[in-house]
Chain A
Amino acid sequence: MRRAALALLAAGLAACSSSTPAARDTFAVWDPYPQFAAESDWAKTIDKCGAEAGVKIQRQAFDTTDLTNKVLLAAQQRTAPQVLVVDNPVVSTLAEAGVLRPISEAGLDVSAAAPNLVSAGTLNGQTYGTPIGANTLALYYNKTVLTAAGVDPASIKDWASLDAALAKVKAAGKKGITFSAIGTEEGTFQFLPWFWGSGAALTDLASTQASGALELWKSWLDKGYAPNSVIGNTQTTSWQEFATGDYAFAENGTWQLQNAKKTGFEYGVIAIPGRTGGTAPAPTGGEFVTVPVQDDKATETTAGKIATCLTSPDRVLAADTALTYVSAVPSVQQHQIAAMPELKVWVDAVQNAKGRTGDNLGTRYPRISQPLWGAVQAALTGAKAPADALKEAQAAAAAAK
C-alpha cells in the first residue's frame, strides 16, 4: 500500500517537474530540522547564504527518517533539491545512488573539518559533503543517585569499574542504567560504543571482543542493573526513564543537554569507557551539507557556494549551538568550550568518535548494522546466546549483497 502511495507521489512529482525554468533563481534547500521554524537562526542563515550567492532560497524541512527516500524519489524524477543537508550515514547511500556530487566537483572544501568526522562522508576515496557539526553518545549520570550509592563518577574508568558502580547503585535500591537497544538503527548506534570499546570491528561481528560487549549488556539485564524495557526503548523513551530520577546512568546524546537541565536533579556527563580503560569510540551523529547532481554545471557551482557558506566556521556556529552540536572544525570547538565549559566532555567524545560508514564500509554498513541490531535483540531477549547470535549476524552480513 505504502509503495503504491509513493508511486503516486512520484507520478505527481513527475507532473510538476516539467515546468523547470532554464535559468534558476530559486534554490531548494532540504534539511532534516523541522524543529527550526522560518524565523529561526538556521533558516535566516540559509536565506543569507542564498542572498550572497544571488539566489532566493526555498527551504523545506523533513523528518530525518523520511529524507532518504524523499531524496531518492526526487532524484529519480530529476527534482532533487540544489542543496541537501542529510544524516551522515545516508551520505554514502546517496553517493552510491549517484545522487550527490563529490566535493571536488561541487567546489566544497573540507580541509578545516576534523578527519574522523569527514570520513563518514567518504566513499571510495571521494568525499561527498561537509559535516555541519557532530553529536555523539556519552553517559549522563544522576548525582543524587550516585552520592546516595557512594559512587564517585571519576572512579569509572573501564567496564569493571562501571560494573562495580552499577552493583553499588542496585544495592542502594536504585536503578542502574538505561539505554536504547531497539531493533532499528538506533539500537546499533547505541551498542557501537561498547562494541568498538571492546576492540571489535564491524567487519567481524563474530569476534570474541564483540561477544564480550554483548555479554556486558546482557549481564546488566540479568543482574537487574538495566530494565527489560531497554529492548524496546528508543533514545527518547530511554531518556524519559532517566528523567524520572530513579536511574544512575543513561547512555544518550549531546542533543539531550537542553533537556538535562530541565530534569530537576543534578546531572553530570562522563565519556563511555572502553573495556580496559580510555574513552570508547562512539559513533558520530550529525548531518552533512551536500550538493545533489543537477542538469547544469552553473546551478551546481552556485549550490556549492551556498553549501560552503552554510558550513563556514562563523556561520555554522549558530546552527551548531541551536542543535547542541559540537562543531566539525577543531578551532571552533575550542570557542564552544570557552563559551560553555560543560561541552568539554562532548568535544572529547566527538574527537574520539568514529563514523559508522567509515573504514570504507560505505553502503556495506546498513547491511552489517541490521543483523547487528538483530543479534542484540536476540541476545537481550534470551532467544540466543550472545556468541551464537553474533555468529549468525556475521553470516547474514557476509551473505548480504
Chain B
Amino acid sequence: MRPRLAAWAFAAPLVAYLLVCYAYPLYTNVNLSVRGYTVRTFVHGGAPFVGFENYAAVLADPTFQKAVVNTVLFTAVSLVFQYTIGFALAVFFARDFPLSATLRALFLVPWLLPLIVSASTWAWLLNSESGLINALLGTKIHWLTSPEWSLVSVTIANIWIGVPFNLVVLYSGLRTIPPEVYEASSLDGASGWQTFRHVTFPMLRPVSAITLLLGLVYTLKVFDLIWIMTRGGPSGSSTTLATWSYELGFGSMLPRFGPSAAVGNVLILVSLVAGLLYIRAQERA
C-alpha cells in the first residue's frame, strides 16, 4: 500500500498541472463552442446549449474556406522551405570550419528575437512605399497591401523565423550519426550525394519526423506574425484559422465567443490528428 501511495503522491503534481493547465481550458473552450454566448450570458451565465450551431455557422461562413486554404498554403510552404533550408544549413555546419560556431549562433537570431520585433521589421522592409525590399529589387510590389502578395509576404517572414529551429534540431541530429558510418560509405566509394541520399537522410528520419511535426503545430497556430504584419488582410487575403479565431473573439468590440472557440477547436483537432499520425508512424518504425 505504502509504495503505491508514494507513487500517487509523486504523480499528483503532474496530474494537477495537466488538469489545471490542459483539461480545464480545453473543457472551457469546448463548452464555449457549443453554447450560444452573448456578452450578457458570458457575464451572467445561462447561455443556452446550441449543439453544433456555432460550428455550422463557422463552416457556412465564406471566410472559412478562405482561411482553410490560406492555412494549408501558409503551413505547407513554410514547412517545405524551413525544413529544406534548415537541412541544407545543418549539413553545411556539420563540417567544422573556422568561425562555424559563431556563424551558427548568428543564424539563431531570428528565432531569439521577440516576434513583435521581427514582424514589425518585416512590415517595414516590405512596405510598398518606403520599404527596403522594393528599393533593392527596383519594384513597386504592394507586398502587404495587395490580396495577391499578402500571404506570400507573411509566409516569407515565417520561413525566415522558422529556419533556425530546423537548423538546430537537424544539426544535433546529424551529430548523433556515428562517423564510422560515413567512413564505411566513403570506403565503399560513395559520392557526396550518395552519402547524403543513403546515409544522412535515412538516419535522420526520426529527427526529421519530430522536426516536421513540431513545425506543423507551431505553424498552424502562428498568429502574432500575421496579425502584426497584415491583420489577416487586406480583405482577408492572409487570414488563417488562427487569426480568424482571434478576429471573431477579439477583433471587434462585440466578441463572438462561440464561433471563435469553434474555430480554435478545429485547429486543436488538426494538431491532434497530426500528433496521432506521428505516434502511429513511430510505433511502426
Chain A residues engaging chain B, CB cutoff 8 angstroms: 1-5, 7-8, 10-11, 65, 68-69, 72, 75-76, 89-90, 93-94, 96-99, 182-185, 227-232, 241, 244, 363, 365-367, 369-370, 374, 377-378, 380-381, 383
| Chain B residues in 8 Å Cβ range of A94 | 39
Query: Interface digits, B251-268 against A, CB 8 Å rule (1 contact, 0 not)?
Result: 111110000110010010
- B129 A1 Cβ-Cβ under 8 A: no
- B43 A90 Cβ-Cβ under 8 A: no
A-contacting residues, B10-43, CB 8 Å: 20-21, 24-26, 28-29, 32, 38-40, 42-43
| Chain B residues in 8 Å Cβ range of A89 | 253
The residue that B231 contacts in the complex, of A93, A96, A184, with Cβ under 8 A, is: A184
| Chain B residues in 8 Å Cβ range of A7 | 24-25, 28-29
- Cα of A232 to Cα of B131 in the assembled complex, Å: 13
A-B contacts, 10 of them at CB < 8 A, read: A8-B24, A69-B250, A72-B39, A76-B42, A229-B144, A231-B233, A244-B130, A363-B39, A369-B253, A381-B145
The residue that A72 contacts in the complex, of B42, B128, B130, B237, with Cβ under 8 A, is: B42
- Cα of A11 to Cα of B24 in the assembled complex, Å: 9
- A182 B42 Cβ-Cβ under 8 A: no
A-contacting residues, B149-205, CB 8 Å: none
- A99 B25 Cβ-Cβ under 8 A: no
- Cα of A185 to Cα of B247 in the assembled complex, Å: 11
- A184 B40 Cβ-Cβ under 8 A: no
- A183 B249 Cβ-Cβ under 8 A: no
- B253 A93 Cβ-Cβ under 8 A: yes
| B230 lies within 8 A of chain A by Cβ | yes
- B42 A97 Cβ-Cβ under 8 A: yes
| Chain B residues in 8 Å Cβ range of A72 | 39, 42-43, 255
| Chain B residues in 8 Å Cβ range of A184 | 231, 251
- Cα of A10 to Cα of B237 in the assembled complex, Å: 33
Query: Contacts A3-B32, A68-B253, A227-B129: A97 and B43 contacting too (C-beta < 8 A)?
Result: yes
The residue that B253 contacts in the complex, of A185, A228, A380, with Cβ under 8 A, is: A185
Query: Contacts A3-B264, A11-B20, A228-B129: A93 and B39 contacting too (C-beta < 8 A)?
Result: yes
Query: Contacts A377-B233, A381-B145: A4 and B43 contacting too (C-beta < 8 A)?
Result: no
Closest A residue to B249 by CB, please name it. Answer: A3
- A381 B29 Cβ-Cβ under 8 A: no
Query: Interface digits, B32-57 against A, CB 8 Å rule (1 contact, 0 not)?
Result: 10000011101110000000000000
- B249 A381 Cβ-Cβ under 8 A: no
| Chain A residues in 8 Å Cβ range of B26 | 4
| Chain B residues in 8 Å Cβ range of A90 | 253
A-contacting residues, B53-108, CB 8 Å: none
- A3 B252 Cβ-Cβ under 8 A: no
- A93 B254 Cβ-Cβ under 8 A: yes
Chain B residues engaging chain A, CB cutoff 8 angstroms: 20-21, 24-26, 28-29, 32, 38-40, 42-44, 123, 127-130, 142, 144-147, 221, 223, 230-237, 245-246, 249-255, 260-261, 264, 267
Closest B residue to A75 by CB, please name it. Answer: B43
Q: Is the interface of A mostly helix, strand, loop or mixed?
A: helix
A152 to chain B, nearest CB (A): 27
- A370 B29 Cβ-Cβ under 8 A: no
Query: Contacts A7-B28, A183-B235: A232 and B129 contacting too (C-beta < 8 A)?
Result: no
B219 to chain A, nearest CB (A): 13
- Cα of A192 to Cα of B176 in the assembled complex, Å: 62
- Cα of A378 to Cα of B32 in the assembled complex, Å: 31
| Chain B residues in 8 Å Cβ range of A65 | 250
Knowing that A11-B20, A228-B129 touch, tell me 6 more A-B residue pairs with CB under 8 angstroms: A3-B28, A5-B25, A65-B250, A97-B43, A98-B40, A370-B251
- B129 A241 Cβ-Cβ under 8 A: yes
- Cα of A94 to Cα of B236 in the assembled complex, Å: 28
The residue that A185 contacts in the complex, of B221, B245, B252, with Cβ under 8 A, is: B252
| Chain B residues in 8 Å Cβ range of A227 | 128-129
- Cα of A75 to Cα of B40 in the assembled complex, Å: 10
A15 to chain B, nearest CB (A): 10
| Chain A residues in 8 Å Cβ range of B252 | 185, 366-367, 369-370
- B223 A183 Cβ-Cβ under 8 A: no
Query: Contacts A1-B264, A3-B29: A232 and B145 contacting too (C-beta < 8 A)?
Result: yes
- B264 A96 Cβ-Cβ under 8 A: no
Query: Contacts A99-B43, A232-B145, A381-B146: A365 and B233 contacting too (C-beta < 8 A)?
Result: no
- Cα of A23 to Cα of B232 in the assembled complex, Å: 48
- Cα of A397 to Cα of B267 in the assembled complex, Å: 27
| Chain B residues in 8 Å Cβ range of A182 | 231, 233
Closest A residue to B57 by CB, please name it. Answer: A401
| Chain A residues in 8 Å Cβ range of B144 | 229, 232
Query: Contacts A377-B234, A380-B234: A68 and B255 contacting too (C-beta < 8 A)?
Result: yes
Closest A residue to B27 by CB, please name it. Answer: A7
| Chain A residues in 8 Å Cβ range of B44 | 97-98
- B254 A383 Cβ-Cβ under 8 A: no
A83 to chain B, nearest CB (A): 18
- Cα of A93 to Cα of B147 in the assembled complex, Å: 32
Closest B residue to A175 by CB, please name it. Answer: B129
For the complex of A and B, the 10 pairs showing the least CB-CB separation, nearest first, are A4-B25, A97-B39, A366-B254, A7-B28, A183-B233, A231-B145, A7-B25, A366-B253, A377-B235, A366-B252
